[in-house]
A and B are shown apart, each in its own frame.
Chain A
Amino acid sequence: MSANHDDHHDAPDGHGRALRLGIGGPVGSGKTALTAALCRSLGPSLRLGVVTNDIYTTEDADFLRRAGVIDPERIMAVQTGCCPHTAIRDDIAANIDAVETLEERFGPLDLVIVESGGDNLTATFSRGLADRQIFVLDVSGGDKVPRKGGPGVTSADLLVVNKTDLAPMVGADLTVMSRDAAAVREGKPVLFTSIREDKGAHSVAEWVSGVVESWRHQHSHSHLS
């Protein structure tokens, strides 16, 4: 089926649009904090939009608006009807609608972050929604979590282990987490961070910048040809 040229959004091949980055992970692992940190670090250099998938309220969206890290108009909240994973994996229509609304209103954009509602270890983003995805864990869930795997841990383009500052208090061994993650992720990157101590999550921001850069490179050339 050929792409419908009067509506490039129908073509999910990515030409002429922003990179869509999914941020998923269990409840309380720091997805919203990471989203805020990325806005803080990348806001000056990239044109951003954010979609939040709040479970109960518009709390995450409100947190980001209050944090003042991004123009509040560029944040859209999607409700997920009790099923946060459905909204990012099985029925992504409302999220796609929100992403495209942001692009239409503020485009062109470089990066749209889609933050999932807190869910379990099996929740991952559909490729129809996210071009790349980050899965966020925190050390307080225990250092066995990476070994247990699950699609989020094994297949995300980047695994972020957050709240490293708490590791001594919860008895989590970061070297164990690092070794286990490397084993199940077959070489895909893992970054350790403490967003409480590094408000810009700089190592993660650097990874995202690189991804955006190569996305732009890949998708602008063929678009012009």
Chain B
Amino acid sequence: MNGAPGQPPTPGLAGLLLLADSRLPAGGHAHSGGAEEACRVGAISGPEDLARFLRGRLATAGRVAAALAWSACAGAGESTGAAESAWRLLDAEADARIASPAQRLASRTQGRLLVRTAKRIWPSPALATLAREVPDGAHHPIALGVAAQAAGCTPEQAAMAAAYTSVTGAATAAVRLLGLDPVTVHRVLADLPYDSVIAEQHDWSALPAHAAPALDLLAEQHLRTEVRLFVS
């Protein structure tokens, strides 16, 4: 993604940094992506478990999110603008890949908050259309893809933001809940194979659909746990 030596950096990088930053005020800080429940039941108790959790999360939910974000960003950037009904179709493709209602709810909640925030930071026709077509909240990766397009990112950058944010919330939650060394956890984050889950996408029906049965169980159990700090 970097320009050649001596060249200015590729456009879109600033947008990517802003979108991937955990300080983006879009509600992400309150979601643990299943990590809170995994910590509660003892499936994550230290940095090694966390690394395995994050690798698995990236290879499944992260891969799907990256593909959806890629598609949404590319769709938003088409010269004609994606047809209005297209957003509902992509939304249905996301729905079909998220079997757990708890995870669908968390995804839509984060998507709705992101669209609201992004509309004020990077007003764009595609964001306005998405908000209108999917009023309950588009799935987060779709919102992220459209926001990325509005922020000047390429589909590849949108996918990178989706892959990265699919693991950072869980990593931060584990730091807060277990008191893990944040530097150790960042080392884990730095070692994750983000590029491996990013690929060019065209046919929406054929987008990756990697399931994570344990994440489904954790998400549903989490909603039924009385004491919880995170929304998901």
Q: Which residues in A have some Cβ–Cβ distance to B below 8 Å?
A: 1, 4, 7, 9-10, 55-57, 78-83, 86-87, 90-94, 96-97
- Distance of B150 from chain A, by nearest CB (Å): 14
Tell me whether A81 and B123 are in contact (CB under 8 A): no
Tell me whether B27 and A97 are in contact (CB under 8 A): yes
A81 with B113, Cβ < 8 A, contacts A10-B120, A56-B228, A90-B25 known: no
A93 with B116, Cβ < 8 A, contacts A57-B228, A79-B30, A79-B229 known: yes
Q: At the interface, yes or no: B31 with Cβ under 8 Å from chain A?
A: yes
- Distance of B18 from chain A, by nearest CB (Å): 14
A residues near B24, Cβ cutoff 8 Å? 91
- Distance of B173 from chain A, by nearest CB (Å): 7
Tell me whether B23 and A56 are in contact (CB under 8 A): no
How many A-B pairs fall under 8 Å by CB? 73
14 pairs from A and B in contact (CB 8 Å cutoff): A7-B119, A7-B131, A57-B226, A57-B227, A79-B230, A81-B176, A81-B231, A82-B230, A83-B29, A90-B23, A93-B26, A93-B27, A93-B117, A97-B27
A91 with B228, Cβ < 8 A, contacts A10-B120, A82-B176, A97-B112 known: no
Of the candidates B114, B123, B228, which one forms a contact with A79 in the assembled complex, judged by CB atoms under 8 Å apart? B228
B83-122 residues with Cβ-Cβ distance < 8 A to A are: 109, 112-114, 116-117, 119-120
Q: State A91–B177 Cα separation when bound (angstroms).
A: 19
Tell me whether B228 and A93 are in contact (CB under 8 A): no
Report how many residues on chain B are interfacial, defined by Cβ distance under 8 Å.
30
B residues near A4, Cβ cutoff 8 Å? 119, 123, 128
Q: State A81–B173 Cα separation when bound (angstroms).
A: 8
Q: State A97–B119 Cα separation when bound (angstroms).
A: 14
Of the candidates A56, A78, A90, A97, which one forms a contact with B116 in the assembled complex, judged by CB atoms under 8 Å apart? A97
Q: State A93–B30 Cα separation when bound (angstroms).
A: 10
- Distance of B184 from chain A, by nearest CB (Å): 19
- Distance of A76 from chain B, by nearest CB (Å): 12
Tell me whether B228 and A92 are in contact (CB under 8 A): no
A94 with B123, Cβ < 8 A, contacts A56-B229, A86-B29, A87-B30 known: no
Q: Which residue of B lies closest to A53 (CB)?
A: B30
A residues near B227, Cβ cutoff 8 Å? 56-57
* Sample of 16 more A-B contacts, CB < 8 Å, known A79-B30, A91-B27: A9-B116, A55-B229, A56-B227, A56-B228, A78-B30, A80-B30, A82-B176, A82-B230, A83-B176, A87-B30, A90-B25, A92-B25, A93-B27, A93-B113, A93-B117, A94-B231
Of the candidates A1, A56, A82, A83, which one forms a contact with B123 in the assembled complex, judged by CB atoms under 8 Å apart? A1
A residues near B112, Cβ cutoff 8 Å? 97
- Distance of B157 from chain A, by nearest CB (Å): 22
Q: At the interface, yes or no: B32 with Cβ under 8 Å from chain A?
A: yes
- Distance of B87 from chain A, by nearest CB (Å): 17
Q: Which of B26, B116, B117 has the most chain A CB within a 10 Å cutoff?
A: B116
Q: At the interface, yes or no: B28 with Cβ under 8 Å from chain A?
A: yes
Q: Which residue of A lies closest to B117 (CB)?
A: A93
- Interface flags for B12-46 (1: CB within 8 Å of A; 0: not) read 00000000000111111111100000000000000
Q: Which residue of B lies closest to A96 (CB)?
A: B116
